[in-house]
Structure 1
């Protein structure tokens, strides 16, 4: 790995990884990465298979929600010790208005760790689309939809902001820190996108999406741990298109995140992106995002 691969002997090592299909990722070497990296907790997104096809992960307990849409979405949290509690939107339907329409899609799982006062949540947020006024027939990979996917994502964002607030406060009342992992399909700052000027009219970097990210984060709410550790400079990128030479030229986005309550964020010591050294070695179109937290 060019920016990772070191195993932490103390503290808590947490990974977030959109595997873009767990079966495909395993064929490419996911299990070797898991053994080598040896995280204490790993949040996986886009399993893209049924529950029976997820498989087992040696040394880990897996809390999963694959949803009911065949071959789409799906999230999991792997822990060394079986969690004290597991919640998904199927077992614990979201209370925020508007989210029930997404509850069957396999987008959210949350666990209370059994060996420390921490609740870990894992989200795969809808990719969305462009608003109608930005859609140009002939210049889009997908057929124009009049802004339907964009509107759907906005409904999700609004509802999830409320649900996230509720879950964070519930953890606080229980004496637990809270950590949100996942592919949010939103980049916040100009440092998070290589070609940020062009990205301003792309889904994932629209003004309303960036504003939403700013609203759910802050020094008293959830801290963008990766940005806090990496500083005010470009990167670290976590996603590169399969097409062209984006991976080789390091032209990508930071849409994978660790958002932590302030106490946990202060214990964050190191962030690494396990970007593979060559395109043919890629496990996914994302790379694992790993943060080490002190005890």
Structure 2
């Protein structure tokens, strides 16, 4: 059965990723589409990293920060970067690219949610982004649609998604209010969902492909701090996602977190998340 292989990865700076060995992974990966976060560069840096590929890219307002891209073997049919109200700066954090999967329209998103910082203006920006993301996912998730939101979403949804969850309950990335957004993203479409923080709202019906594939197990984690022995001890966070509409989730298989064999072989602090979608 034909498949479209989609990888998502926060490269932590595309130039550094290439220097540290990303091209070796790419050449062996067999991927058709790569969604990239934290590009931290310009078009020419992506073109050098992905020679011969088609690229749509949105740089952040602040040079050298954030940046998202969708890189594909076949050109996207269209792309969009607008998200949220006009006065909200989402540049470098959300890009949509349209393709077809077996003749059916498919939208793939590369998203980079703010890391945030509890009780600061940085967290206020994260709330605004998650609000805008919720509205757009409701639109993309219309009945029968094929859509995929990938990327570094900077929230561990469940206790299973963070090794040291007890020590992070009051920190950005695992705040109850943040996690409640994911309760609604993944709740039954149209149902009233009560989030982990006690708030309620309509479920959007999206599917977390990683959790569906692995079930209720710890991880598998996708990010590890560069400090200490976090990588060697597999003390990580699962914050990189493939969130699919139900119609696309039924086509998903072969979920893989491409964790490096050793610390020395890492080319980013995140591991690529790879899924095959059949058509």
TM-score normalised by L of structure 1: 0.84
Answering whether residue 117 of structure 2 is matched by residue 86 of structure 1, we say: no
Query: Equivalent of 1:101, from 82, 85, 88?
Result: 88
Shift of 1:244: 0.3
Give the whole-Å Cα distance in 2 for the aligned partners of 1:250 and 1:68: 34
Q: Aligned Cα RMSD in Å?
A: 1.7
Answering whether residue 143 of structure 2 is matched by residue 157 of structure 1, we say: no
The 10-residue stretch of structure 1 (105-114 or 246-255) with the greater mean CA deviation from structure 2 = 105-114
Give the whole-Å Cα distance in 2 for the aligned partners of 1:255 and 1:100: 27
2:45 matched to which residue of 1? 53
Higher strand share: 2
Aligned 1:143-222 pairs, distance under 5 A: 147-169=120-142, 176-220=145-189, 221-222=205-206
Following TM superposition, the consecutive aligned residue runs of length 4 or more in structure 1 with deviations greater than 6 angstroms are none
1:98-155, CA deviations, whole angstroms, 9 ceiling, x for partnerless residues? x64223x311111111454211111001000012xxxxxxxxxxxxxxx221222112
Shift of 1:82: 0.7
Aligned 1:1-295 pairs, distance under 5 A: 10-56=2-48, 57-89=50-82, 94=83, 96-97=84-85, 100-103=87-90, 105-114=91-100, 116=102, 117=104, 118-131=106-119, 147-169=120-142, 176-220=145-189, 221-295=205-279
- The number of equivalent residue pairs is 261
1:143 matched to which residue of 2? none
TM-score normalised by L of structure 2: 0.88
Any unmatched runs of 5+ in structure 1? 1-8, 132-146
Give the whole-Å Cα distance in 2 for the aligned partners of 1:199 and 1:13: 33
Give the whole-Å Cα distance in 2 for the aligned partners of 1:234 and 1:30: 27
Any unmatched runs of 5+ in structure 2? 190-204
